[in-house]
Amino acid sequence: MQSYWFGDIDEHGCTPYRGGPKALAKRLETIKISPEHFVPFDWRVAEKCGYMPDHKEYIRKLRDLCFYLAEVGITRQYESRDAELLQMVRTLDQLDEVSNVLTERALEWHRINNPGFSRKYMRLPRQKLLPMMKRGGSQAFRQIINEIENLASARTSLMKEVSRRADEVVPNCSALLGGLVAARLVSQAGSLQTLSRLPGSSIQVLGARTALFSHMRGGTPPPKHGIIFQHRRVHNAPKEVRGKVARVLAAKLAIAARLDQYRQEPAPEFIEAAQAAIDKAGRVI
């Protein structure tokens, strides 16, 4: 017997399925086919099934079903728990870019009106630099600085939210990496599902695309770390063991991502053992 979206066909003829898109979609889920035994069909088979007078009507019914399926599919994809985290962390990184560009420009502007301004002021933390620049600027200038300060405060609250959400969505990766970097890792991979299917060696160099490809094309040294460099145990590690720390951390992250994807809860024993392994890799003998 062969099952198609509109009905079943066997030697006795056709058993049609009637009903709206929802009912048809539900039945479709129960059909399992194997490519070796499947017989693709001509729409005329459906015509014989009785309730589709012509190709136009056939396509109309099929389209109703497919629109329904596609919309359900889209909703399901967007519902996955990491979809919003992804947008949040990308917004965060873009906020940084925007506020840096604006600050640089405002500094150049500020310089023009303040001959005494020099490099040493650039080293001031931004919270001090911005209010200082505001004094004596024109109204529009002050307004811009205010906006930069607003962006900074929006960034702070978004960052807290990203960390919190990452602890929920990827608890094991967050425990190893910290929420923010874990979220960036998911964002770079594209989704938690993709991340959970990557080997440790790929996770290690996620985000080091340029270096990786220049290595593959031109034989430059391979990158030791991508995004995970942002984690303190990697960038604080002494140079000679940094690659090792990155490798061990990435290997543990590969396991953590799978736990996050399929178990969806923290695994304390694993985290403890993984932390110990990573710390051990960082020790210089």
Partner 1 sequence: MIWVENVLVSRGEGGVYGEHMLKEFRVWDPYRSKLAAYYYLGGVFELTPDLVVLYLGAANGTTVSHVADYAGTVYAVEFAPRPMQDLIAVARRRDNVVPLMADASRPDRYATLLEMADLIYQDIAQPEQVTIAIRNLMFLRDGGRMLIMLKTRSIDTAEEPGVVLEHSVAALEAARVNVLDTKWLNPYHKDHAAILCVPARD
9 three-state secondary structure: strand
Give me the least distance between CB of 63 and partner 1, in Å please. Answer: 6
The first and second tokens of residue 8, run together, are 């079943």
DSSP symbol at 236 = T
Contact 247/149 with Cβ under 8 angstroms? Answer: no
| CA dist list (Å): 2 to 28, 29, 36, 52, 146 | 13, 15, 12, 18, 68
Residues 30-59 that bind partner 1 (CB under 8 A): 31, 33-35, 38, 40-43, 55, 59
The residue within the footprint of partner 1, chosen from 23, 216, 273, 277 (CB under 8 A), is 216
Determine the interface stretch with partner 1 among 67-75, 114-122, 141-149, 194-202 (rule: CB under 8 A).
67-75
Q: Cα separation of 175 and 186, whole Å?
A: 14
Residue 60 or 81 with smaller CB distance to partner 1:
60
Residue bearing tokens 């088979």: 45
Total binding residues for partner 1 by CB under 8 A?
31
Q: Interface with partner 1 includes 158 (CB under 8 A)?
A: no
User: Which positions from 78 to 97 touch partner 1 by CB under 8 A, shown as an x/- string?
Assistant: x-------------------
Q: Interface with partner 1 includes 23 (CB under 8 A)?
A: no
Burial class (CB in 10 A: 0-12, 13-18, 19+), 47: middle
Q: Interface with partner 1 includes 239 (CB under 8 A)?
A: no
The residue within the footprint of partner 1, chosen from 77, 113, 220, 236 (CB under 8 A), is 77
Q: Interface with partner 1 includes 28 (CB under 8 A)?
A: yes
The residue within the footprint of partner 1, chosen from 49, 65, 228, 245 (CB under 8 A), is 65
Burial class (CB in 10 A: 0-12, 13-18, 19+), 172: buried
Q: Cα separation of 145 and 148, whole Å?
A: 5
Please name every residue paired with 273 in a beta bridge, in sequence order, or none if there are none. Answer: none
Residue 31 or 124 with smaller CB distance to partner 1:
31
Residues that bind partner 1 (CB under 8 A): 3-5, 28, 31, 33-35, 38, 40-43, 55, 59-60, 62-63, 65-67, 69-71, 73-74, 77-78, 213, 216-217
